[in-house]
Structure formats: C-alpha cells, structure tokens
Amino acid sequence: MITNSIKQPLLTALAACLLSAMICSAQTTTASSTTSAATSGAPDASKSDASKPAANGPQFNSRTPRYHIEAGDTFDLTFDLSPEFNQTAVAVQPDGFVTLRGIAELKVAGMTVPELTATLKSAYGKFLNNPPISVVLKDFEKPYFVADGQVAKPGKYDMHGNITVTQAIAIAGGFQSSAKHSQVVLFRRIDDQWTEAKLIDVKKMEKNRDLREDPFLHSGDMLFVPKNTLSKIDRVVPNLSAGTYLPLQIP
C-alpha cells in the first residue's frame, strides 16, 4: 500500500512529465506549421489566421528587442515647428490609451517608440504639414527577467544590457542540486492572450561547450527550472508500523 506522503510526490512527478510532453508536442506542431508555410510560398494576408501567435511572435534569438510601451508609462511629446501641441508627462492609462492635444484618444500600449512616432505623425499630419515629432520616454518599467524554480535565488532581476539564458541562471545563483538542467523553460509573453514557451537543454550546451543556441532574453521573460525526477520523491518517509515491516532481501 502506498502512503499519502509517497503518493503525492509521485503524482507531482507524473504531472510534470505530462506538462513537459505537452510543451514538446506544441513545439513540434509549431515547427511543422512553419516549415509548411515556408515551402508553400508567401501567404495571403487576407487569409491569415490571427489565432496562431507563433507566426507573429517574437524570436527567441533576437538580440536587440525594442521596448513596448505599457500602461503606467509616461512620455514627453515635442513638436519642433508647432510648440503649441507640446505635452509633457503624457500618462498611458490602464486601458492603454492616452489623451493628446488636438486629436482623439489614441491607444499606444504595445507600441515601440518608433511606431508611436509614426502613428502620431500620421494623426497630426491630417492638419499639420509633415510635422517633425519627438517622443521621449520619461517613466517606464525597467527591463527585467524572472527566475523561478530550482535556482539558488529565485526572484525578479534588472537587465543591464544583453543577457542570455545561461547568464540569467548564473545571476540567479546557479542551479540547485535538484534542478533538471536539460529542461529549462523560457516563457515569453506575446500579448494579453498568448505566452510562448521554449524548452532549453542547458545541460547539453554546457556539456558540448557550445553556447550558440543560448538565446538572449527579452524584458519580462521568465525562466523556470524544474526539479529532476529523483528530487520529486521524498528523501525521508515515515517508519512503517511493526506489523507492516517487509522482509529485506540481502543477496
């Protein structure tokens, strides 16, 4: 008979294995879809499927991702030739919209600074002749990543420059002895509805001394280091009662 103290870790281990299998299956499906699209020619934009985030999602190996404006950020808006439209400390509302002088409310959350600049030039260009506009972020969320699971110091860390997965793990104190090095999961939020997940075999990279597949992090990424199978089973279990001892077979 399996006691509750042993049963629970076994169930946890089984759930972790199922989660890993689901992620691997999703990656295989995404890779197959991408290959099929590449060999069938350019897709028709009018028939694009918005339910497939991988097609428009960020690339894990991108080294220079641009910051995307979020709710709570503020920026200064400067018109070189029309200073009457200048605004300072424009706040992005919780719904992602901003209120600007001379135009209707505009949703800016999710845009990069160049995208916002182009959008504003288009909006103000309806009554100004090709206005030169400058957008300067003033208050925004500093780049960060989150390390969780079997690392020495789980938590949220500021990003200073480009950081790879292995570097982020080192910043978080390195792996614990219970960590599964071969199945580190990198979670990256694509939008409000989709988060992309990628399994990374850090053990293989370190064994082969080859970090070419070590992806760079984007701000907001989360690394999760799972437990290895053996560490999911309790090392100490309660003693059995005198009437339930099993004979120990010694060769």
Residue among 146, 167, 165 at smallest CA distance from 157: 146
Instruction: Tell me what pLDDT residue 75 has.
Output: 95
Instruction: Tell me what pLDDT residue 234 has.
Output: 52
**What is the count of structural domains for the chain?**
2
Residues 120 and 103 in one domain: yes
- Whether residue 7 is contained in a domain is answered as no
Residues 132 and 83 in one domain: yes
Instruction: Tell me what pLDDT residue 233 has.
Output: 53
Residues 165 and 213 in one domain: yes
Instruction: Tell me what pLDDT residue 142 has.
Output: 82
Tokens of 209: 């001394």
- Whether residue 126 is contained in a domain is answered as yes
User: Is residue 183 a contact partner of residue 201, using CB atoms and an 8 Å limit?
Assistant: yes
Instruction: Tell me what pLDDT residue 44 has.
Output: 46
Instruction: Tell me what pLDDT residue 248 has.
Output: 47
Instruction: Tell me what pLDDT residue 143 has.
Output: 86
- Whether residue 127 is contained in a domain is answered as yes
Residues forming a β-bridge with 133: 79
Residues 157 and 207 in one domain: yes
The residue segments making up the domain with residue 177 are 144-232
Q: Are strands 106-107 and 97-98 parallel, antiparallel or unpaired?
A: antiparallel
- Whether residue 64 is contained in a domain is answered as no
Instruction: Tell me what pLDDT residue 238 has.
Output: 58
Instruction: Tell me what pLDDT residue 221 has.
Output: 93
Residues 120 and 177 in one domain: no
Q: Which residues contact 24 (CB under 8 A, 6 or more apart)?
A: 199
Q: CATH number for the domain including 216?
A: 3.10.560.10
Residues 167 and 223 in one domain: yes
The three state secondary structure string of the chain is CCCHHHHHHHHHHHHHHHHHHHHHHHHHHHHHHHHHHHHCCCCCHHHCCCCCHHHCCCCCCCCCCCCCCCCCCEEEEEECCCHHHCEEEEECCCCCEECCCCCCCEECCCCCHHHHHHHHHHHHCCCCCCCCEEEEEEECCCCEEEEEECECCCEEEECCCCCEHHHHHHHCCCECCCECHHHEEEEEECCCCCEEEEEECHHHHHHHCCCCCCCECCCCCEEEECECCHHHCCCCCCCCCHHHCCCCCCC
Residues 126 and 110 in one domain: yes
Residues 189 and 113 in one domain: no
Q: CATH number for the domain including 83?
A: 3.30.1950.10
First to last CA, the chain: 25
Query: How do the pLDDT tens digits run along the chain, 251 residues long?
Result: 444 444 444 444 544 554 555 545 544 444 444 444 344 444 444 334 444 444 444 445 455 667 889 888 999 999 999 999 999 999 999 999 999 998 989 999 989 999 999 999 999 999 999 899 999 999 887 889 999 999 999 999 998 888 999 999 999 999 999 999 999 999 998 777 888 999 999 999 988 888 888 999 988 899 999 998 766 555 555 554 544 444 545 44
Residues forming a β-bridge with 156: 146
